[in-house]
Amino acid sequence: MKVPPGRLLAIAALGSLCLAAGVAAAPTKPWERLKDQASILEVNHHYSQSIELYKQALRLVPAADELCRLQILCALADCYKKVLDGENTCAVLDQIEVLAKTMQTNGKLGMEAQFSLGFLLDDLDRGLPYVSPGGDARKRLKASRLIQGHVLKLTRSVMPGRLTPPRMLSIARVSVADGDLQAAEAQLVEFMKTLPANSPFRPDFVGSLAACRARQGKPEAISALLKSLEKKGGKIYARRELAKYYYWSADYPAAFKVLDEAVTLLGPRPDVGQLEELLASKLKLSQDSGNVKMSEEICNKRIHNLRPCRKQYPDLYRTAVTDLYSLVKVVRPADAARVLASSGLDADEIMKPQAEMFITERDRLEMEKAKGLKTGKP
């Protein structure tokens, strides 16, 4: 693929800057060299070796170099999390909190330090399991539950602005995943006290709390919520929203039930867009519950429904094919090429949405001009 001129110049300039920075900023201090070596090992998934080098770097870095110490601690905590060592992750998070609080008090918690903390907090939120399968997943869940308490404490202490409503819901859902619905309910109630009355996130908390209580044999709130949602947007809308809250509470049978009801309500000749939205929701449920067979069946059904009108809904069709391709590539790699061949798409088309994320408006105009297309812009 030909790189647009604007992008080519940007890449060249960025490469020159990186090269210059690399030459000028080559680490000369032993702890910095160890930190860089550990980072390379971490990127290549050699976590145990990386942990040892980070620990060596910590022993060498002077107490006065607080930024470097904080960065090493953040990297070390992330490595411990990746090997499912919840106790050591939490021990390092406690050290991070003490150091970050000191830096903050002394006015030294600058942008670099905040970036390291923010990256760590985001990474600790990724990949949390929401169901309770066996093997390493159970160990990962136990570590996640332990870590989330310390993450909440660190966030409140040093970066309270990052304790957003979606993060609150994520923290409470770890308790759901561990089967502790009472703890999840208590967390939701506590978090809701911090939300403004007009917060756009309040309905998500109300719905999640209702679904959480329904799983504990208290269906009154969910029944009232269904009536309220029907009054607001109709029966299909109400069931789609209710499925979202059942999904949060890991009540998969209830979520599938209301989505199936919504599909039935669409009638014998459903709107393609509405049906696709409901099937995509079912796919999310099947994936979250670990049902690979159902996930593949739903993907195939979506493709079957969209194939006759793929020209009318090219993005929906491409998304459906991408979902199936991504799934098959993991469970049966040898069949991935067959999925592409039967879809009529190629790998470039599947990657197009991701690639377009990195294309600037100037690049787009240059590509359209090169193709002789009319952009409608001067």
In the chain, domain spans = 26-129+139-175, 200-265, 266-358
Report the pLDDT value the prediction gives residue 163, as an integer from 0 to 100.
87
Q: What angle do the packed helices 202-215 and 181-192 form, to 10 degrees? A: 160
Contacting residues for 146 by C-beta, under 8 A, at least 6 apart: 86, 87, 89, 90
pLDDT for position 263: 95
| Cβ neighbourhood burial of 123 (10 Å; 0-12, 13-18, 19+) | middle
Per-residue pLDDT, averaged over 181-205, amounts to 93
H helices within 159-249, ranges in order? 165-177, 181-192, 202-215, 220-233, 235-248
Spatial contact of 129 and 141, defined as CB atoms under 8 Å apart:
yes
CA nearest to 119, candidates 191, 70, 173:
70
- Among all chains, which residue has been given the structure tokens 């967390």? 187
Helix, strand, coil share (%) of the chain residues, nearest 5:
75, 0, 25
Q: What is the mean pLDDT of residues 335-340?
A: 89
Burial of 255: CB neighbours in 10 Å, binned 0-12, 13-18, 19+ = buried
Q: Average of pLDDT values for 69-93?
A: 92
Confidence band, pLDDT 50/70/90 cuts, at residue 25: low
Highest mean pLDDT out of 46-60, 323-337, 361-375: 46-60
Distance CA 50, CA 59 (A): 14
Residue 99 has which token pair?
């150091």
For residues 320 and 178, the model is more confident at 320
Closest CA to 9 of 375, 374, 360, 373: 360
Q: Which of 84, 67, 64 is nearest to 124 (CA)?
A: 84
What are phi and psi for residue 359, nearest 5 degrees?
A: -95, 125
Give the H/E segment covering residue 93.
helix 86-105
Categorize the per-residue pLDDT at 352 as very low, low, confident or very high, splitting at 50, 70 and 90: low
What's the pLDDT at 185?
A: 95
8 A C-beta contact, residue 124 and residue 81: yes
Burial class (CB within 10 angstroms; exposed 0-12, middle 13-18, buried 19+) of 20: exposed
Q: Is pLDDT at 245 greater than 90 in this prediction?
A: yes
pLDDT at residue 234 tops 70 = yes
Residues 6+ apart with CB under 8 A from 319: 280, 353
pLDDT tier at 5 (50, 70, 90 boundaries)?
Answer: very low
List the alpha helices (DSSP H) in 126-162: 136-158
Copy the structure tokens of residue 167: 């993060």
Q: Is the pLDDT of residue 373 over 60?
A: no
Which band of pLDDT confidence, cut at 50, 70 and 90, is reported for residue 126?
low
Beta carbons of 363 and 6 less than 8 angstroms apart: yes
Region 21-42: mean pLDDT is: 76
Looking at residue 309, what DSSP letter applies? G
pLDDT value at residue 137: 59
Q: What mean pLDDT value characterizes the chain?
A: 83
Q: Which two tokens stand for residue 287?
A: 């994936």
Query: Is pLDDT of 294 > 60?
Result: yes
Name the residue with higher pLDDT: 369 or 168. 168
0.85 cut: is pTM over it?
Answer: no
pLDDT at 350: 72
Residue 199: which of 159, 166, 239, 230 has the closest Cα? 166
Task: Produce one character per residue of 186-207: b if its CB has 16 or more CB atoms within 10 Å, e if not.
Answer: ebbeebbeeeeeeeebeebbbb
- Percent of the chain residues past pLDDT 90, beyond the cut: 56
At 351, the pLDDT band (50, 70, 90 cuts) reads low
Using the predicted structure, report yes or no on whether residue 377 has a pLDDT greater than 70: no
In this prediction, residue 171 carries a pLDDT of 85
273: exposed, middle or buried (C-beta count within 10 Å: 0-12, 13-18, 19+)?
A: exposed
The CATH code that applies to domain 26-129+139-175 is: 1.25.40.10
Place of tokens 């519950």: 289
